[in-house]
Structure 1
Amino acid sequence: MNDQTHDGWWGRARRVDSPNCDARPIDEVSLLVLHAISLPPGQFSGDAIEALFTNQLAMDQHPFFAEIAHLRVSAHLLIRRDGECVQFVNTDQRAWHAGRSCWWDGRAMQWRQTLNDFSLGIELEGDDITPFTKAQYHALAEVTQWLMVRYPALDASRITGHAHIAPLRKTDPGPAFDWAYFYQRLAKIHLDTL
């Protein structure tokens, strides 16, 4: 695959810069957090997700948008229902995706907070109840493989869902996300690159 880049932008993704990022305070990328998002809730397609991540969400387009338009959030990547990838933040920078959360780091044998400092965030266009598409799983596995090559501290054991790091606040990527199928796709891509 000729997807490798050296500047934190995946060559397979459409680039849409988000202002909602900053420099990482530590030189570490060792966690991948998977999210799910649909705007308005339960509806797919449209430009609302990109508008949210670029601070351009029009409050008058849907009643729900008025509740969230003030948020300053982003993710490194978004994977649309058709498998299209949109990258908002350079992976070497800190995207604002995890919020208040904590994660047990088995290597360090400690609970860690301020996860944005050392994590990557990938949003899947979806919700808790609608199955994700095969195109999304394929794209997710491909970009995850690229990230694991780029950041050696990141491996399959250091991939988690937003619900796992913020269980009282978040439910995504939700029960509709097929973890087993994702890991099968990731293993296949890994074997194909050997």
Structure 2
Amino acid sequence: MENQQTLSGWWESARKVVSPNVDNRPDGEVSLLVIHAISLPPGEFSGTAIEALFTNQLAIDEHPFFASIAHLRVSAHLLIRRDGECVQFVDTDQRAWHAGRSCWWDARQAMWRRTLNDFSVGIELEGDDVTPFTKAQYLALARATRWLFSRYPQLDSGRITGHAHVAPLRKTDPGPAFDWAYFYRLLKE
């Protein structure tokens, strides 16, 4: 079992906020990137609610919506704020709890895969399905993705998906506001 101090998947460009919602990857594999979007309360940006959710410190009296989600034990590897600030909650060598019930067609292995948290990295963009993401967010996402590509040889541009694509009956993020073509163009720069 790896000791937390020997793990090296902390991105130096991100502010570190450690989430307790993490455990070891069963096989150590990282071969998928799942892009999410989150705003707390829904449709509102900035504030500390996302960090509070991912660290089990969400105060239910701060907004009526929070009472319905405060019991959740979730995390992501990275959060990219509207201004491009990156916050990292989980070492990418460990398993964050971001994808939930989901499945993904792994073309390389010619099979459907479940339990995506076991082998994926989750990046949350502060946003929602309808509000365009910021240029700063796309630039930060491209930088983070290139960093992940350099760390994990199995990960490449063909192994990136949205939460809605792996959990279509439950999730809609990052939604139609996410510009996939622009993101892929930035990855090539």
Q: Which residue of 2 aligns with 1:10?
A: 11
Q: Distance in 2 between matches of 1:115 and 1:183?
A: 22
Cα displacement string for residues 134-186 of structure 1 (whole angstroms, at most 9, x for unaligned residues): 00000000000000010000000000000000000000000000000000111
Q: Does 1:100 align with 2:101?
A: yes
> The residue matched to 1:140 in structure 2 has which SS?
helix
> The residue matched to 2:188 in structure 1 has which SS?
helix
The TM-score, its normalising length taken from structure 2, stands at 0.96
2:47 counterpart letter in structure 1:
G
Q: Which residue of 2 aligns with 1:39?
A: 40
Q: Distance in 2 between matches of 1:62 and 1:44?
A: 14
Q: Gaps spanning 5+ residues in structure 2: where?
A: 1-6
Q: Once the 2 structures are TM-superposed, how far is the Cα of residue 132 of structure 1 from its aligned partner?
A: 0.1
Q: Which residue of 2 aligns with 1:134?
A: 135
Runs of 4+ in 1 over 3 A off after TM superposition: none
Q: Which residue of 1 aligns with 2:77?
A: 76
Q: Does 1:109 align with 2:116?
A: no
> The residue matched to 2:147 in structure 1 has which SS?
helix
- Please, what is the CA RMSD of the aligned residues? 0.6
2:35 counterpart letter in structure 1:
L
Q: Distance in 1 between matches of 2:120 and 2:185?
A: 22
1:109 counterpart letter in structure 2:
A
> The residue matched to 2:123 in structure 1 has which SS?
strand
Q: Which residue of 2 aligns with 1:150?
A: 151
Q: Which residue of 2 aligns with 1:191?
A: none
User: Percent identity, aligned pairs only?
Assistant: 79
Q: Once the 2 structures are TM-superposed, how far is the Cα of residue 27 of structure 1 from its aligned partner?
A: 2.1
The TM-score, its normalising length taken from structure 1, stands at 0.94
> The residue matched to 1:89 in structure 2 has which SS?
coil
Q: Distance in 2 between matches of 1:90 and 1:28?
A: 13
Q: Once the 2 structures are TM-superposed, how far is the Cα of residue 70 of structure 1 from its aligned partner?
A: 0.2
1:53 counterpart letter in structure 2:
F
Cα displacement string for residues 2-45 of structure 1 (whole angstroms, at most 9, x for unaligned residues): xxxx8100000000000000000012100000000000000000
Q: Gaps spanning 5+ residues in structure 1: where?
A: 1-5, 189-194
Q: Which residue of 2 aligns with 1:25?
A: 26
1:168 counterpart letter in structure 2:
L
Q: Which residue of 1 aligns with 2:171?
A: 170
Cα displacement string for residues 33-66 of structure 1 (whole angstroms, at most 9, x for unaligned residues): 0000000000000000000000000000000000
